[in-house]
Amino acid sequence: MDIAVLSGKGGTGKTLLSVNLAAAAEKSVYIDCDVEEPNGYLFFKPENIETEKVSVKIPYVNKELCDGCRKCVDFCKFNALALVGKYPFVFEEICHSCGGCVIVCPQGAMSEKDKVIGEIQKGRSENVEVVTGMLNTGEASGIPIIKKILPEKNNKKDVLNVIDCPPGSACIVMESIKDADYCILVAEPTIFGTHNLKMVYDLVKLFDKPYGVVLNKCLEGENPSEKFCMENSIKILGKIPFDSEIGEINSNAEILVREDDKYKKLFANLLETVIGEVQNETIANS
Ligand code: SF4
Ligand code: SF4
């Protein structure tokens, strides 16, 4: 079962929820797709880490064949090529590795080389296999890393795959959720929180994904995100209280469910609710 956890912005509690759901499951794979700022591994402190580099294809010019026609420069919609003197210069940091310039070059002067953009780390933390994507600073897109880490999911029925998505609703998030069985949207109890919730709500509807909301940092009194859910008949899966103990354990990069039985119960209940939702969805679609 593949559960994706999303939020419209960073700091909402997406990683807190992802890490604790994975830890609450009997067997799970935690996949950190927040490749620009992965931090789930700081909680899990995985052991026996294996590392694999991730590369993309970048064009380079054979000056002996190039006649300076600039067809490649005009083709590149990312402005990653510019004619400098007679020959094209490749701005590698903004090249999106589409390969188009290689195809359009009439002289066969463009070839491709590998460029490392980041890495994948795999390790184990008790019941959780931890897979982390890490994008090098300054790279154009983390999507090639997402494409490489998602196949690390375990497709056995008794294993829960938790996908910790990047924040926001851009194409890197779309890539992260596209094969998920269910999406959990994490929301804060503020006007800004509701605004960000709407972004990911629109995204999961666009992808026709089953979804529910977890309200984080809940206090007594009005919760604009809860109101939004009620007005739009969105299932609220559970609430995580605004609690200084949670803040302290989380800030120390400890896992709540491994520290205190009351949190173990909180996230186990949440997980049970999510699994129930996925099963209901499966029955409804069969
Ligand atoms: S591979 Fe695509 S993005 Fe990169 S320089 Fe060529 S045309 Fe531009
Ligand atoms: S299209 Fe080919 S021949 Fe023309 S400038 Fe680019 S590399 Fe040179």
The pTM score is: 0.90
Q: What is the mean pLDDT of residues 178-207?
A: 95
Q: Ligand 1 centre and the CA of 11: distance in Å? A: 34
Which of 198, 267, 183, 205 has its CA nearest to residue 2?
A: 183
Q: Whose alpha carbon is nearest atom 4 of ligand 1?
A: 95
In short, whether 90's Cβ falls inside 6 Å of ligand 2 is: no
Band (pLDDT 50/70/90 cuts) for residue 139 is confident
Q: Which domains does the chain have, with CATH numbers?
A: 2-54+118-285 (3.40.50.300), 63-108 (3.30.70.20)
| 186 pocket-lining for ligand 2 (C-beta < 6 Å) | no
Say what the pLDDT of residue 140 is: 82
Ligand 1 atom closest to Cα of 102? 6
Beta bridge mates, 52: 120
pLDDT digits (tens, 9 = 90+) for 195-213: 999 999 999 999 999 999 9
Mean pLDDT over all residues of the chain? 94
pLDDT of residue 285: 80
In the block, tokens 């186990």 appear at 268
Query: Predicted confidence band at 221 (pLDDT cuts at 50, 70, 90)?
Result: confident
Q: Which ligand is nearest to the CA of 73?
A: 2
pLDDT of 283 > 90? The answer is: no
- Of the two residues 70 and 11, the one the predictor is more confident about is 70
The confidence score (pLDDT) of residue 281 equals: 82
The answer to whether 268 and 24 have CB atoms below 8 angstroms apart is: yes
Q: What is the pLDDT confidence band of residue 162, given thresholds at 50, 70 and 90? A: very high
Q: Give yes or no for residue 69 CB within 6 A of ligand 1.
A: no
What is the helix (H) or strand (E) element at residue 267, kind and residue range?
helix 261-285
Going by CA atoms, what residue is nearest to atom 6 of ligand 2?
72
For residue 200, the 8-state DSSP code is H
Average pLDDT over residues 122-132: 97
pLDDT band at 72 (very low <50, low <70, confident <90, very high): very high
Bridge partners (DSSP) listed for residue 132:
32, 121
**CA-to-CA distance for 147 and 275, rounded, in angstroms?**
25
* Closest C-alpha to ligand 1, atom 2: 98
Confidence band (pLDDT; 50, 70, 90) for 53?
A: very high
Q: Work out the percent of the chain whose per-residue pLDDT is above 70.
A: 100
Q: Is the pLDDT of residue 286 over 80?
A: no
